Amino acid sequence: MTRLVSHLQSSVGRKVVMALTGLGLVTYVILHMVGNLQVFEGPHALNSYAAFLRDMPILLWTARIGLLCIVALHIVFAIQLSLQNHRARPIGYAIHRYRQASFASRTMAMSGMVLLLFIVFHLLHLTAGVIGSPNSDRIDAEGYRDVYGKMIHAFQNPLVVALYLVGQLGLGLHLSHAVSSSIQTLGLEHAALDRLFKAAGPAVGLLVVLGNIAIILAVFLGIVHV
């Protein structure tokens, strides 16, 4: 146990935890997007899917608590690594030269902050119904909670749409670097697959962002409606 704690306190251990929690969150983000894409199939598909998740409260709350713990670990270790790097180099470079670092990697702290604020807003908005969701407890014709109607109502508001698009920008940038970086940290690199691993981050980021934006804009433009 002491060796484990000692390892987690090292920079290598923290990076491994960051990589593992990051990949766990990436998996959730992909599944979340795939589930929400059922909005294109109509109210029955999305509302019955949401009801299916709620009908397993133990599994649902275990997943929620687990995600909360993973997010907390990810944020705490990210802050610790950032402070450690700052202490190791308290005086910044006079001239910044970015030869290999991508824009996504250079803005990880900023995109992470944008993403954190967006997650809080999203939870208060569509999950808890605290912000701008008067239809949060509405029931559809089949007796399901009307998640479809709530989503339609939410994305008819231009301000909400703008906030979600900014959130997607932060999500895309963060995923673009995080996935490839996590693979590298865990030592999963291979000479024959080097290009594939490097492209994994941008590909996953683009896929998730395009899927989420498709939902938002389809509702806002009236392509998907009640």
Per-chain mean pLDDT for the chain: 87
Share of the chain above pLDDT 70, in %: 86
Buried b (16+ CB within 10 A) or exposed e, 166-197: ebbbbbbbbbbbbbbbbbbbeeeeeeeeeeee
- Partners of residue 114 on adjacent β-strands: none
Give the CATH architecture of domain 2-89+103-220. Up-down Bundle (1.20)
**Single-letter amino acid code for the residue at 137:** D
Query: How confident is the model over 189-205, as a mean pLDDT?
Result: 83
The confidence score (pLDDT) of residue 121 equals: 94
Q: Report the C-alpha gap between 173 and 32 in whole angstroms.
A: 18
**Single-letter amino acid code for the residue at 148:** Y
Helix, strand, or coil (residue 186): coil
Residues 121-175 have pLDDT tens digits of 999 998 887 887 555 568 888 888 899 999 999 999 999 999 999 999 999 999 9
pLDDT higher than 70, residue 221: yes
Phi, psi at residue 134, to the nearest 5°? -70, -15
The residue that leads in pLDDT, 119 or 100, is 119
The structural domains of the chain, with segments of one domain joined by +, span 2-89+103-220
pLDDT higher than 50, residue 94: no
Residue 78 to residues 38, 100, 143, 147: CA-CA distances in angstroms? 34, 21, 44, 34
Query: How confident is the model over 216-222, as a mean pLDDT?
Result: 97
Half-sphere exposure of 3 (CA within 13 A, CB side): 0
The confidence score (pLDDT) of residue 95 equals: 46
